[in-house]
Amino acid sequence: MAFSSSLFHLFVLLLLLFSLLLQIEVSIIVRQHVITGAQQLNIGSLVYSFATSAVINVSERGNQREKDRERAQARNSSKTKASKSDGLTPEQRRERDAKALQEKLAKKKSQSESESKKEVGKPSTEYIGTAVDVRIGLSDFRKLRVQMGSISSQKLRFCIDRGGTFTDVYAELPGQTEGHVMKLLSVDPSNYDDAPVEGIRRILEEYTGEKIPRSSKIPTDKIEWIRMGTTVATNALLERKGERIALCVTQGFRDLLQIGNQARPNIFDLTVSKPSNFYEEVLEVEERVELVLDTEENVKSSNVVKGVSGELVRVVKPLNEESLRPLLNGLLKKGISCLAVVLLHSYTYPQHEISVEKLALSMGFRHVSLSSALTPMVRAVPRGLTASVDAYLTPVIKDYLSGFISKFDEGLGKVNVLFMQSDGGLAPESRFSGHKAVLSGPAGGVVGYSQTLFGIETDKPLIGFDMGGTSTDVSRYAGGYEQVLETQIAGAIIQAPQLDINTVAAGGGSKLKFQFGAFKVGPESVGAHPGPVCYRKGGELAVTDANLVLGYVIPDFFPSIFGPNEDQPLDVHATREEFKKLAEQINSHRKNQDLSAKDMSVEEIALGFVNVANETMCRPIRQLTEMKGHETRNHALACFGGAGPQHACAIARSLGMKEVLIHRFCGILSAYGMGLADVVEEAQEPYSAVYCSESVQEASLREAKLLEQVKDKLEEQGIKEENIKTETYLNLRYEGTDTATMVKKQEDDDGSAFDYTTEFVKLFQQEYGFKLQNRNILVCDVRVRGVGVTNILKPKAQNPASENPISHCLFKVYFQNGWQETPVFKLENLDYGHAIPGPAIIMNGNSTVIVEPNCRAVITKYGNIKIEIDSTSNITVSDKVADVVQLSIFNHRFMGIAEQMGRTLQRTSISTNIKERLDFSCALFDPDGGLVANAPHVPVHLGAMSSTVCWQLKYWGDNLNEGDVLVTNHPCSGGSHLPDITVITPVFDDGKLVFFVASRGHHAEIGGITPGSMPPFSKAIWEEGAAIKAFKLVEKGVFQEEGIVKLLQYPCFDDPAHKIPGTRRLQDNLSDLHAQVAANQRGISLIKELIDQYGLETVNAYMKYVQLNAEEAVREMLKSVAAKVSAPSSGPEAGDSVTIEEEDYMDDGSTIHLKLTIDSKKGEALFDFSSTSPEVYGNWNAPEAVTAAAVIYCLRCLVNVDIPLNQGCLAPVKIYIPPGSFLSPSDKAAVVGGNVLTSQRVTDVILTAFQACACSQGCMNNLTFGDNTFGYYETIGGGCGAGPTWDGTSGIQCHMTNTRMTDPEIFEQRYPVILHKFGLRENSGGAGVHRGGDGLVREIEFRRPVTVSILSERRVHAPRGLRGGKDGARGANYLITKDKRKIYLGGKNTVHLQGGETIVILTPGGGGFGSTL
Count the Cβ atoms, other than its own, within 10 Å of residue 1130. Answer: 7
Nearest to 850 by CA among 886, 878, 875, 825: 825
Amino acid residing at 347: Y
Query: Which residue type does 697 have?
Result: Q
CA neighbor of 213 nearest in space, from 414, 411, 413, 409: 409
* Alpha carbons 905 and 915: distance in angstroms, whole number: 8
Question: CA 223 to CA 225: how far, in whole Å?
Answer: 6
Q: Exposed, middle or buried: residue 3 (CB in 10 Å: 0-12, 13-18, 19+)? A: exposed
How many C-beta atoms surround the C-beta of residue 1361 within 10 A?
A: 28
pLDDT at residue 15, rounded to an integer: 42
Q: How far apart are CA 1309 and CA 349, in angstroms?
A: 14
Strands 367-370 and 338-342, how do they pair? parallel
Query: Given this model, what pLDDT does residue 1300 score?
Result: 86
**Partners of 30 in the β-ladder:** 54, 132
pLDDT of amino acid 947: 86
Task: Let me know: does 476 contact 449? Beta carbons within 8 Å.
Answer: no
What one-letter code names the amino acid at 112? S
Alpha-carbon distance 1023 to 1013, whole Å? 9
Using N-to-C axis directions, what is the helix angle for 1184-1199 and 944-956, rounded to 10°? 140
Amino acid at 618: C
Cβ atoms of 51 and 28 closer than 8 Å: no
On whether the CB atoms of residues 421 and 427 are closer than 8 A, the answer is yes
d(CA 1296, CA 1286): 20
CA distances (Å), 1154 to each of 270, 1111, 1151, in order?
21, 22, 10
- Give me the pLDDT at residue 879, please: 53
Contact criterion met (CB below 8 Å) for 199 and 159: no
> Cα dihedral angle (1040, 1045, 1050, 1054), rounded to 10 degrees?
-10
| Cβ proximity of 315 and 365 under 8 Å | no
pLDDT of residue 173: 87
Strand order in the sheet with 965-968: 931-934, 920-925, 992-1002, 980-989, 965-968, 1031-1035, 1038-1039
Residue 770, pLDDT score: 62
Give the residues of the chain that fall short of pLDDT 50. 1-86, 89-91, 93-94, 97-98, 101-102, 104-106, 108-152, 1127-1133
User: Which stretches does DSSP call E strand in 7-151?
Assistant: 24-31, 53-60, 125-128, 131-136
Helix (H) or strand (E) holding 250: strand 245-250
d(CA 501, CA 621) in angstroms, rounded, equals 11
Question: What dihedral do alpha carbons 250, 251, 253, 255 form, nearest 10°?
Answer: 110
Residues contacting 1043, CB < 8 A, separation 6+: 1031, 1032
Q: Please give the Cα distance from 849 to 639 (Å, whole number).
A: 10
* CA 225 – CA 718 distance, rounded (Å): 12
Q: What is the DSSP letter of 378?
A: S
Please report, as a single letter, which amino acid is at residue 1223: L
The beta strands (E) that lie in 649-774 are given as: 659-662, 679-690, 724-734, 741-744
Prediction pTM value:
0.79
Report the C-alpha dihedral over residues 401, 404, 410, 415, rounded to 10 degrees.
-70
Strand pairing report for 223-230 and 416-420: parallel
DSSP state of 828: G
User: Pairing state of beta strands 856-859 and 809-815?
Assistant: unpaired
Phi, psi of 485 (to 5 degrees): -95, -10
Strands of the sheet containing 245-250, edge to edge, are 279-285, 245-250, 338-342, 367-370
Estimate the share of the chain in helix, then strand, then coil, as percent rounded to the nearest 5. 30, 25, 40
**What is the maximum span of the chain, computed from C-alpha positions, in angstroms?**
124
pLDDT tens digits, 1040-1072:
989 999 999 887 655 666 678 888 888 888 888
DSSP letter at 795? -
Backbone torsions φ then ψ of 660, nearest 5 degrees = -120, 135
Instruction: Give the integer Cα–Cα distance in Å for 582 and 590.
Output: 12
Would you put residue 681 in left (φ > 0), alpha (ψ -120 to 50) or beta?
beta
What does the H/E/C string look like for 354-403? HHHHHHHHHHCCCEEEEHHHHCCCCCHHHHHHHHHHHHHHHHHHHHHHHH
| pLDDT score, position 738 | 67
364: how many CB neighbours lie within 10 A of its CB? 10
CB 1318: neighbour CB atoms within 10 A?
22
Alpha carbons 160 and 488: distance in angstroms, whole number: 26
467's enclosing H/E stretch is strand 462-467
17-49 pLDDT, tens digit per residue, is 444 333 333 333 333 333 333 333 444 333 333
